[in-house]
Structure 1
């Protein structure tokens, strides 16, 4: 009595179409589960063993990546945010897809389809063809998407940069600037200024918001300190606010910070950083400048951003005496809203019947919402988002180091001990008084220690 299980796969009874059909299915399924297993079982040992070795190598790499993800994620992210690392990863996915296709072709050759039952032969061939083409298309698609990421990283982080910086006191401090420009103003003004301070051991982040209207501040040692040794007063622009520093240095084209361009920065940013370091008492390792107009394109690329709007927001500015000014007629209504790019920009910018401090809070809400929703949006709109990021972000963070920062950002997500401190009323008085920056340093030190500022206590 003969059974299919009594016939070895390597020496089949080619005279039995029924057995050859079952054998073909066994080889096909085995090769789908372990690329190379089909040829190995069918008798092509050299080819099959090579396939198994590659498959085992792939499994080892995946296990190592999984271990690094949970144990030492920054080590994993470092090569994945460099050109060479991403190029290698793209070739790995494409090459593995092609190799899976080759093993399936060899499996079908070993299956001897001519000996398979005539009625089943077409179905086996169609399934094998699909199993051959899908890995190639998937590998090619993944490689293409990785190429988009690599191009974006090359464009954003591929130019001159500040180089790898050592954390200061166990922290990496990044200055965030929201650059705004318009027909009614001269040059670019960073209307949104903050510092994100990451604890490199825990990932806990302390965000320090700085009102653009801060006055009576100084500069750490450097060209701006030499120009304004007694503080930023009597400046060469209309008002001596914190966000005026960038404008003054840029518009007047001062001969200072000559090496800024060689480090991926510019004089206006370096001058602002000197002021922010003086105000906060922190060493700033890197900066990120966000173009607010391009920011709207990013939100559109994401398919919108969901915000729980707490109060009616006018899509317009206050009357500043400009000829032809009219009150706004469009509003963002309260409630859970999915804002498009234009509405999100007004949500962050609006000054009509509101304060700068309320605007700072809205900008923080928008920033947090985008960071939280961006990973999910990447799954559907990765190409559009990557292209938008290229137009939105300017930074001196080098390749590789952005992987370390990304790891810290992931660690910080959802933590209950993250702290937000705005050097603004009511905790820090700046209206009609000279700000007490010594007290500001105390607030910042407490915030870095994880202590939420008491809104009932002020510096005055």
Structure 2
């Protein structure tokens, strides 16, 4: 069996290798790291979110939220020209309670696309309106503010795996995907195979939830390998991959503050799933969320963020 993937390190890296940059900064060269970090900044026009009336102060230990977005390349072989969010993970962190809540949103979740004026799969929000529309849509879906985001090009997984010399995974069932045979047991994967391993969904008896677990498995392995001392010798290659594939509105100072002031919050992780059921409309598959359960989840997240429910009601 694949070991249960623990999420407690995902915030430290906030997608693959941001944490590695900090780990190796002192030993390799702070100037190179800060230069790379400057190039991955993307301060989109968020204006004032109606769901967040006050700014976040990391030094004072304010709870905050983060949206982790994995963006897929267009599938030109299938005539699809659009980039969509292949993975959406909402993270809320509260240093006072020393706890972290994490919600993985199924990509086919049927919900209102804010700014489009209609309902569709939540992962289509990126194709219609990029990062801004995706954030607004997730905010509306969970009725909480999204303070920060980290966006990753899913193709960057392939480059990162190769930069770290490949990875080893424990595959718990035999399957074939895009011409590659993934046998049950311990597998050594290069970048291309790791990406295929992370993407397969149709043959997984757990469907999209199984794919999410494999993606989290690879993230965890990349983080562990990237943070090891042996990775320092490949830091230039690693930083190049980071610069080409990651964008965020977190500043380097923010990352330092999170590492310093929020570390204990990562020791108590509670994972949530979006309750719902499979459905179909016009012969198109959707994941239909249970609205009552989503409201209950929203209440949990609001309490964790120390938000007055009345201030964010839809």
Q: TM-score, normalised by structure 1?
A: 0.50
Q: Is 1:368 matched with 2:220? A: yes
**Aligned residue in 2 for 1:181:** 73
**Aligned residue in 2 for 1:402:** 255
**Aligned residue in 2 for 1:148:** 32
On the 8 A contact 1:161/1:397 being kept in 2, the answer is: no
The structural deviation recorded for 1:166 is 0.8
Q: Residues 290-301 of structure 1 correspond to what in structure 2 (within 5 A)?
A: 290-301=152-163
Secondary structure of 2:221 counterpart: helix
On the 8 A contact 1:206/1:447 being kept in 2, the answer is: yes
On the 8 A contact 2:65/2:145 being kept in 1, the answer is: yes
The structural deviation recorded for 1:147 is 2.8
Secondary structure of 2:110 counterpart: coil
Q: TM-score, normalised by structure 2?
A: 0.72
**Aligned residue in 1 for 2:278:** 431
Q: Is 1:246 matched with 2:162? A: no
- Greater helix share, 1 or 2? 1
* 1:178-230 deviation digits (Å, cap 9, x = unpaired): 111131322211111111212233553222100110113364xxxx1xx52xx
**Aligned residue in 2 for 1:40:** none
* 1:379-425 deviation digits (Å, cap 9, x = unpaired): 34222211111112011112311222344675455x3x3122221xx
CA distance 1:161–1:352, change in 2 (3 Å): closer
- Greater strand share, 1 or 2? 2
On the 8 A contact 1:145/1:383 being kept in 2, the answer is: no
Give the stretch that moved more between structures: 168-177 or 302-311. 168-177
CA distance 1:152–1:216, change in 2 (3 Å): closer
* Correspondent of 2:183 among 333, 342, 351: 333
Secondary structure of 1:217 counterpart: strand
* Count of matched residue pairs: 260
Find the aligned partners of 1:311 and 1:408 in 2 and give their Cα distance: 40
Find the aligned partners of 2:171 and 2:260 in 1 and give their Cα distance: 30
CA distance 1:334–1:201, change in 2 (3 Å): farther
CA distance 1:204–1:347, change in 2 (3 Å): farther
**Aligned residue in 2 for 1:378:** 231
On the 8 A contact 1:298/1:392 being kept in 2, the answer is: no
* 1:260-283 deviation digits (Å, cap 9, x = unpaired): xxxxxxxx2111111111222221
Find the aligned partners of 1:419 and 1:393 in 2 and give their Cα distance: 26
Q: Residues 56-75 of structure 1 correspond to what in structure 2 (within 5 A)?
A: none
The structural deviation recorded for 1:437 is 2.6
Q: Is 1:389 matched with 2:242? A: yes
CA distance 1:198–1:339, change in 2 (3 Å): farther
Q: Residues 198-217 of structure 1 correspond to what in structure 2 (within 5 A)?
A: 198-201=93-96, 204-217=99-112
Find the aligned partners of 2:113 and 2:72 in 1 and give their Cα distance: 23
Find the aligned partners of 1:153 and 1:145 in 2 and give their Cα distance: 13
Secondary structure of 1:363 counterpart: helix
Q: CA RMSD in A?
A: 3.2
Larger RCO (alpha carbons 8 Å, 6+ apart): 2
On the 8 A contact 2:99/2:265 being kept in 1, the answer is: yes
Structure 1 gap segments, 5+ residues each: 1-73, 75-80, 82-88, 91-141, 234-239, 250-267, 317-327, 451-460
The structural deviation recorded for 1:344 is 1.4
Secondary structure of 2:222 counterpart: helix
CA distance 1:166–1:181, change in 2 (3 Å): same
